[in-house]
C-alpha cells in the first residue's frame, strides 16, 4: 500500500464533495476526493426510480453550472440528478478516486492520516462529506423480531410494484413516507402511522421557497436576529403525487403503534392491525464511522462543530449532513454556500 501527501482530502464524491471540489479547484488547492461508489452520483444512484426532487432544476444546482431542466419538464428525477453530477465532475475535472473507501481517519503529528482500502494519505485538512444514505435508521419496537411479514426501509424501496394487493403499514411523518405512501396506496391497502400528526406544506411551497426561508434565517442569524424556521411551516412538500394522494383521501395518519405482533402491529389500547409489510420511512443518520478513531462524537451522536469545523479536531470539516453543518447544507443548492464558506476558511489559513 502506498502513502501519499495531500493538502486537502475530501471523503465522499456526492454533491457535497463535488461542491467542495469546485471551490478547492477555484482556490488552486492541492486536493483529492475519495469516493466509495463505483460510479458518480452519490446516494442519488440508489434512490427509487420515481423519486422526484422537491425543487425545480435551477434550484437544485451546484456552483458554476446549472442543472439543465429535465426533458419533458417537471421536477428532476434521481436519474437526471445522477447525469448532472456525472457531467459536473467531468466538466470541472475534479480529481476523484473511486472506488476508494475510507476506513479510518487518525491524528498524526502535523497531519491527519486517512486509511483507505486503496492506500493511505496524509492530509493537512480533511473534509468529510459522506452523507447519510448509508446509515438507514429504524427505531426499535417490542416484538420486531417476531414479525413474520417483511420489513424494509426507505433505502430499500424500489417502487410500488412489489406491494400489489398486500397490506402495508408505512411509518414516518416526513417527505419519504408521504411520497412512498402516495405510490403504494395506488396498488395496496395502506395504513400510515406517524409519531406526530403530519403537516403538509401549502401547495405553493416547494424546495425553492424552503431554501429562500433558510437563506432569510441564515441572514437573520448573521445579524443576530430571529426568523421563522422551515419547520414552522410544515414537514411535507406537496409534490404532485402527494397532492393526488391527499385528494384520494389516503393521507390520513394514525398515531404510532406501541408494539409489533407476529402478524401486524398493535396500539397501546389493545387495537391490532394485521399487515404483510412494514415500511420504515424513519430517516437516516450521518455516516461517520470512519471518524470513530478521533473520538469526537457528542452524546447526541453528532460531532460538535463551529460552522463546518469540528470543535475537537480543527483539521477536520464536516459538510452536507444537515443543518448542524450549515443551513440547508444537505440539499443540492444549500451545499454550495456552506462549501464556499468552508473552503474560504481552509484556504485563509494557508
Which of 70, 320, 326, 327 is in the footprint of ligand FAD by CB under 6 A? 320
Task: Work out whether 130 is an interface residue with ligand FAD (CB under 6 A).
Answer: yes
Nearer CB in complex with ligand FAD: 205/332? 332
Compute φ and ψ for 316, nearest 5 degrees: -115, 130
Q: CB of residue 148 vs ligand FAD: minimum separation in angstroms?
A: 28
Please check whether residue 234 is in contact with residue 206, taking contact to mean a CB–CB distance below 8 angstroms: no
Binder among 35, 89, 183, 235 for ligand FAD (CB under 6 A): 35
Cβ pair 242, 179 in contact under 8 A? yes
Q: Is 207 in the site for ligand FAD (CB under 6 A)?
A: yes
Residue placing its CB nearer to ligand FAD in the complex, 14 or 241: 14
290 makes contact with ligand FAD (CB under 6 A): yes
Among the candidate windows 6-14, 182-190, 262-270, 338-346, which touches ligand FAD by CB under 6 A? 6-14
Q: Considering the rule CB under 6 A, would residue 36 count as an interface residue with ligand FAD?
A: yes
324 binds ligand FAD (CB under 6 A): no
Among 8, 9, 102, 346, binds ligand FAD (CB under 6 A): 102
Residue 101 interacts with ligand FAD (CB under 6 A): yes or no: yes
CA angle 170, 175, 179 (to 5 degrees): 60
Sign of CA dihedral 16, 62, 157, 46: negative
Q: Is the peptide bond before 99 cis (omega within 30 degrees of 0)?
A: yes
Rule CB under 6 A: is residue 13 a binding residue for ligand FAD? Answer: yes
The contacts found for 318-322 with CB under 8 angstroms, 24 or more apart, are 318/127, 318/128, 318/129, 318/286, 319/16, 319/17, 319/19, 319/20, 319/127, 319/128, 319/129, 320/12, 320/14, 320/15, 320/16, 320/17, 320/19, 320/129, 320/131, 321/131, 321/132, 321/286, 322/132, 322/286
Is residue 34 a contact point for ligand FAD (CB under 6 A)? yes
Binding-site ranges for ligand FAD (CB under 6 A): 11-17, 34-37, 42-44, 53-55, 60, 101-102, 129-131, 133-134, 176, 207, 287, 290, 320, 330-332
Amino acid at each position: 500500500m502506498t502513502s501519499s501527501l495531500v493538502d486537502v482530502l475530501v471523503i465522499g464524491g456526492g454533491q457535497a464533495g463535488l461542491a467542495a471540489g469546485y471551490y478547492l479547484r477555484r482556490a488552486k488547492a492541492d486536493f483529492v476526493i475519495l469516493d466509495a461508489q463505483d460510479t458518480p452520483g452519490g446516494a442519488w444512484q440508489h434512490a427509487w426510480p420515481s423519486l422526484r426532487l422537491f425543487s425545480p432544476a435551477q434550484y437544485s444546482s451546484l456552483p458554476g453550472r446549472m442543472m439543465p431542466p429535465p426533458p419533458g419538464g417537471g421536477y428532476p428525477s434521481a436519474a437526471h440528478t445522477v447525469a448532472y453530477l456525472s457531467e459536473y465532475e467531468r466538466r470541472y475535472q475534479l480529481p476523484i478516486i473511486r472506488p476508494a473507501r475510507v476506513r479510518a481517519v487518525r491524528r498524526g503529528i502535523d497531519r491527519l492520516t486517512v486509511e483507505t482500502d486503496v492506500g493511505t494519505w496524509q492530509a493537512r485538512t480533511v473534509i468529510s462529506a459522506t452523507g447519510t444514505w448509508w446509515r438507514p435508521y429504524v427505531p426499535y419496537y417490542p416484538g420486531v423480531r417476531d414479525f413474520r411479514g417483511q420489513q424494509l426501509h426507505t433505502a430499500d424501496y424500489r417502487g410500488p410494484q412489489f406491494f400489489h394487493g398486500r397490506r402495508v403499514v408505512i411509518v414516518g411523518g416526513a417527505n419519504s413516507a408521504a411520497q412512498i405512501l402516495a405510490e403504494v396506496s395506488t396498488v395496496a391497502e395502506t395504513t400510515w402511522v406517524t409519531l406526530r400528526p403530519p403537516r403538509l406544506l401549502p401547495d405553493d411551497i416547494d424546495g425553492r421557497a424552503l431554501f429562500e426561508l433558510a437563506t432569510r434565517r441564515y441572514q437573520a442569524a448573521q445579524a443576530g436576529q430571529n426568523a421563522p424556521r422551515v419547520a414552522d411551516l410544515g414537514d411535507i412538500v406537496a409534490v404532485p403525487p402527494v397532492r393526488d394522494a391527499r385528494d384520494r383521501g389516503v393521507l390520513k395518519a394514525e398515531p404510532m403503534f406501541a408494539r409489533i405482533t407476529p402478524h401486524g402491529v398493535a396500539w397501546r389500547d389493545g387495537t391490532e392491525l394485521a399487515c404483510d409489510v412494514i415500511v420504515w420511512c424513519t430517516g437516516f443518520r450521518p455516516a461517520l464511522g470512519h471518524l470513530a478513531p478521533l473520538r469526537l462524537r457528542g452524546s447526541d451522536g453528532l460531532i460538535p462543530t463551529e460552522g463546518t469545523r469540528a470543535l475537537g479536531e480543527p483539521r477536520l470539516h464536516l459538510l452536507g449532513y444537515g443543518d448542524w453543518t450549515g443551513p440547508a447544507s444537505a440539499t443540492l443548492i444549500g451545499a454550495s454556500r456552506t462549501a464556499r464558506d468552508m473552503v474560504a476558511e481552509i484556504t485563509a489559513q494557508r
